[in-house]
Structure formats: C-alpha cells, structure tokens
A and B are shown apart, each in its own frame.
Chain A
Amino acid sequence: MLDAILLFRDALYGTLVIAFVCSALGVYVVLRRIVFVGASLAQMSTLGIAVSFWLAGVGVAGVITTRPIVLSLLATLLGVVFFSAGMKRARIPPDARIGVAYVVAGSLAVLFIAKAAAGEAHDIFLQGNILGITRGDWLVLLGVTVPVLLLHVVFYKEFLFISFDQETARTLGYRVERWTLLLYLTIGLSIAFAMQFAGLMLVFDFLVLPAVTGLLMARGMSGVFAWAIGAGLTAAVIGFSVSVPFDLPTGPAIVAVSGGLVMVAWVVRRIRAR
C-alpha cells in the first residue's frame, strides 16, 4: 500500500498544496456566503480549459493551447472582476447572476469539449486528473499558493474587516471594493491553478467542506483556519491513501472523507452544546 502511495507521491504533494490553500481561503468563501461564487469561478476556469482544448483541436497553435492554464486563468480573472464589481449596482439579484454565470460557463465548457479533437474525457472536469500531477506541477502550484497565502497572512485583518463589516470599514477609510477585488483575485488565482489538476468537484469540496468543519469545531478565527486546513489535509491524505491501493477515483474519495469529517464535527458540536 505504501509503495503504491509512494509511486504517486508527487500527486499527493500536489493534492496537499491544493488542499491547504483552498481550505484556508474557503473560510472566507463560506463566511462571506460566496460559496457559489467559488463554484462559478471554478466553472469559468473549466470553460477556459475547454476552450483551450477546442482551439488545439481546430489547429490553433501557441501558448493558449499548449498551456490551458492561460485561458483558464483569463476566464477566472474575468469572473473575479464580474463578481467583485458592481454586484450591488445591478438590478438582477447577486445570486441570480452567480447562477447565470455558473450554468452558462458549465454548458459552454461541455459544448467546447464535445467538439474538441483533443479527446479529453468529459469527466476530467468533474474528477480532474489528480494522479497525473508531476513534480514540476506541484512546484508550480507551490509557487502560486505561497505568495497567495503570504498575502493573506500580511493582510489578514484587512480581509477580515471588509468581510465582517464593510460599512464600518468604509467609514475608517478602507477602499472596500479594492480589498474585495484583491480577496477575490487570490481566490480566483488559486481556483484556476487547482482546477488544472483537481477538477471541479474536488476544488469545490476543498473550498467549502473543510471550512464548514472548521466553523463547527473552533470558537475563534485562528481556530477556524487551523481546523479547516487540518481537515483539508486530513481528507486529502486519507482519501488519497485509500483510493490508490484500492483503485478508487481519488477526487470522490477525498470528497467522501471531507463529508465524513463534516459529520464528525457536527456530532462533536452537538455533544459540546449539551
């Protein structure tokens, strides 16, 4: 069993990097009630990948087809700007806009991939190809996520304040819209890179479930972050360790463990409340 896991150790390292960053940022995603913004950004990232495959299939050469991350990142960043700016000014309710973005991006991704000659299977968007992560891949992931996490450590109180009470932050001179854009950019950047390997379902899982576990278990913000990251890493290690030797799909195995951790946390919370 250990040999099998060691064979895919680069994939495990990559999964741990994705689990760490998505679980940490997921605390904001859950607390700010933008869970479906996260899902929509992941869908837009998927659309970028699909367009890249389709362009490759129709003979377009260049960096946008050899490196799907380019279009994936572009689509995600467009989504970031779309969601962070003008949500309040629009006549359409924010959740409806999120829904439109989610379903349109998802459908377009399926349409593009259906006509892509690259031959990628549809379920790559749901399950990803986490076992295909190479040493170079996880080093790239690390190179993206370390600056993102450092940014969050340095500007922790700013991100917290504009998430908790925008109006008061504004009266103290905070440029709330710019801070919100920066927060969304860090989330979007992490999603775009994670999506290359983890797929929609696993990225969404890491953005939501570990944070929920953290909120159920901890009483303070630092505790929530610690529990969320811990839950994300635990789910990644257990899910990975179970899936490889037993030939199970890795992404769903990790999601199942994440779900189990949420249930355990919920039970613990209930017991504590008595």
Chain B
Amino acid sequence: MSALITFDHATLGYGRRVVLSDLTFEIPEGDFLGVVGPNGSGKTTIVRAILGTLKPIAGGVTRIPQLRFGYVPQRDQVDYSFPLRVVDVVMMGRYDRIGVGRRPRPEDRERAMAALEAVGIRELAMDQLAGLSGGQKQRTLIARALVGEPNLLVLDEPTTGMDLVATTQILGLVRELHERRGLTVLMVSHALNEIANYVTRIALVQEGRFRIGAVDEIVTERTLSELYGIPVEVDSIAGHRIVVARRGPAVLKPDRDVAAGGHRGA
C-alpha cells in the first residue's frame, strides 16, 4: 500500500511553541487510524498538519498530489444558527469541485442525496440542520465529507457529547465506510476505549509523547502504562478491549525513548 501522507521528522506547533516534535510515520492507503490523547495533547495539531492547514516548524509532511480530504469537524465547530437544510450543508462538500462563482448543478444535488443515503438519513434531506439530533448532525457532516469523493476521511472527535447508542452507531458507520468503500480513515478521539475496538492502528499522543502502531501492539498494559505514566490494565469483555487505570500511586516512569517522541510507525 502506498503512503497517502508521510511525516518525516516533523516538528509541529504554533509560532515558537512546539507541541510535538520529531514525528515520523506514514498513513498508507486503506489505513484505519485512530489518534488518541487527552484534550490539549496535540491531536488537533496533527490533524491540521495532515490537512495542510498547519505547516511543520521543522521536518516535512508530504501528501500525494491527488489526495482529497473529507473532513468532519467537531460538531460544535459548525454554527447551527444558520438556517440551512441538510442537503445544502452536504452540498458544501462539493463546492471546490463546482468552482468559485458557479452554482451547484443537478448532478451535485444527486451526489449529495447519494451521500445522505450512504449515511442513512436521505429522508432528512429537506430538514433544517439545527433541528437534528446529535447523531443525525454528525451523519450530515460525514455525508458532506463523503460527497467530495475523498480518498482520506478525517474525523475530529466524532462522538463527543453523544450517548452510548449514538456513539456506537457513528463508529459502526465509519467502520462500515472503511470496509465497504476501502476508504482510508483517520479518526481523532480523546476516548481510547471508544475507538480501540474499531480502528486497526492507533497513534497515542500524551504530553508531547507520541507512539503509533497496530492496536494489538499499542493497547497493552505495558505500553499504555509507559505512555500515561500510571498503571493501566487492559481487559476484554464480550470481545471488546477495555482499558482502565488501576487505583493507587504511579509506579512506572515513562520510557525515555518514548518520551523523546521519535517513533517510526507504519
């Protein structure tokens, strides 16, 4: 599989403030990668570097020329006071294809309807976005990302603020899109337990430390305990991995190599 995106000793940050340094990894075609870390750890910084809206301070981030993103922002980043219908919001995903100053064509509308069909809310096309439930709003934003026919789908905290049912449905939908369409997916979340059972690879970001690998390799008691600096237990319930922090004082120190942040993945 060829790499869609390659981080080559990239240092990321804002101005002089370094958030993550010396990142080296690839996102190959067909990957289903979860980027996990607490709020403020640098997940969104990585996403911005991937999307090209943040240039690395040092090193390089390269993308294949024909790469098209389908971006699903955090739900609260969208302004729901705009009186927009669901289909109009989805159509925005094709605006760059339609061209500046041009009007959407019937074909664009058909594709928007097809995208809504793919996420299971075609019947809501003419409804107001603001009137939808959290899960339906998220499906609308996923449909908007799909309608641009991307080869990399990027989702930023897609399940924040959702209940268990909606979370399961959205993550199931994303996995289905990955499996059925062979879509490369990058999903950002602060909830390791939520996405560890869906993605095939995980990148963990914690206080400037970064580690990436297959889920089986990363979601282990030793690796997680090293990364988080507290004893962590990994259990399995009904075939699902559950990660819990053990009670008691921290006994493990972060691995120095891990702390340096320079890890080769992919």
User: Which of A's residues lie within 8 Å of B, judged by CB?
Assistant: 31, 154-155, 157-158, 160-161, 163-165, 167-174, 215, 218-221, 223-224
Interface residues of B in 60-98 (CB under 8 A from A): 69, 71, 73, 77-79, 81-85, 88-89, 92-93, 95-96, 98
Q: A215 to chain B: which residues have CB within 8 Å? A: 81, 83
Q: Are B53 and A155 in contact (CB under 8 A)?
A: no
B101 contacts the other chain (CB 8 A): yes
Q: Are A223 and B92 in contact (CB under 8 A)?
A: no
A219 to B82, CA, bound (A): 9
A160 to B82, CA, bound (A): 9
Q: Are B79 and A219 in contact (CB under 8 A)?
A: no
Q: Are A218 and B71 in contact (CB under 8 A)?
A: no
Q: Are B100 and A168 in contact (CB under 8 A)?
A: no
A220 and B85 in contact, given A164-B79, A167-B73, A171-B71 (Cβ under 8 angstroms): yes
Q: Are A221 and B84 in contact (CB under 8 A)?
A: yes
* Main SS at interface, chain A: helix
Q: A168 to chain B: which residues have CB within 8 Å? A: 71, 73, 92, 144
Q: B95 to chain A: which residues have CB within 8 Å? A: 157-158, 161, 169, 172, 174
A244 to B168, CA, bound (A): 65
Q: What are 24 A-B contacts defined by CB distance under 8 Å? A: A154-B101, A157-B92, A157-B95, A157-B98, A158-B100, A163-B79, A164-B82, A165-B73, A165-B92, A167-B71, A167-B77, A169-B95, A171-B51, A171-B52, A171-B53, A171-B69, A171-B154, A172-B93, A172-B96, A172-B148, A220-B83, A221-B83, A223-B83, A224-B83
A102 to B173, CA, bound (A): 49
Q: Are B81 and A31 in contact (CB under 8 A)?
A: yes
CB distance from A223 to the nearest CB of B (A): 7
Q: Are B82 and A31 in contact (CB under 8 A)?
A: yes
A164 and B77 in contact, given A154-B101, A171-B53 (Cβ under 8 angstroms): no
A223 to B73, CA, bound (A): 27
Q: Which of A171, A174, A219, A224 has the most CB of B within 10 A?
A: A171
B223 contacts the other chain (CB 8 A): no
A157 to B98, CA, bound (A): 10
CB distance from A137 to the nearest CB of B (A): 31
A165 to B72, CA, bound (A): 11
Q: A164 to chain B: which residues have CB within 8 Å? A: 78-79, 82, 84, 89, 92
7 nearest interchain CB pairs? A171-B71, A172-B96, A171-B51, A154-B101, A170-B53, A164-B82, A167-B73
B128 contacts the other chain (CB 8 A): yes
Q: Which of B51, B77, B82 has the most CB of A within 10 A?
A: B82
A165 to B82, CA, bound (A): 10
Q: A172 to chain B: which residues have CB within 8 Å? A: 69, 71, 93, 95-96, 148
A168 to B142, CA, bound (A): 12
CB distance from A66 to the nearest CB of B (A): 38
From A169, A170, A174, A220, contact of B84 by CB (8 A): A220
A52 to B212, CA, bound (A): 64
A168 to B155, CA, bound (A): 11
Interface residues of B in 201-235 (CB under 8 A from A): none
CB distance from A24 to the nearest CB of B (A): 15
A157 to B92, CA, bound (A): 8
Chain A residue nearest to B141 in the complex (CB): A168
Q: Are A155 and B96 in contact (CB under 8 A)?
A: no
A38 to B84, CA, bound (A): 24
Q: A165 to chain B: which residues have CB within 8 Å? A: 73, 77-79, 92
Q: B96 to chain A: which residues have CB within 8 Å? A: 172-174
Q: B82 to chain A: which residues have CB within 8 Å? A: 31, 160, 163-164, 221
Chain B residue nearest to A179 in the complex (CB): B100
CB distance from B15 to the nearest CB of A (A): 9
CB distance from B211 to the nearest CB of A (A): 26
A168 to B144, CA, bound (A): 10
Chain A residue nearest to B96 in the complex (CB): A172
Q: Which of B78, B92, B104 has the most CB of A within 10 A?
A: B92
Known: A171-B69, A218-B83, A219-B128. 14 other contacts (CB 8 A): A154-B101, A160-B82, A161-B95, A163-B79, A167-B73, A168-B71, A168-B144, A170-B51, A170-B53, A171-B71, A172-B95, A172-B148, A215-B81, A219-B83
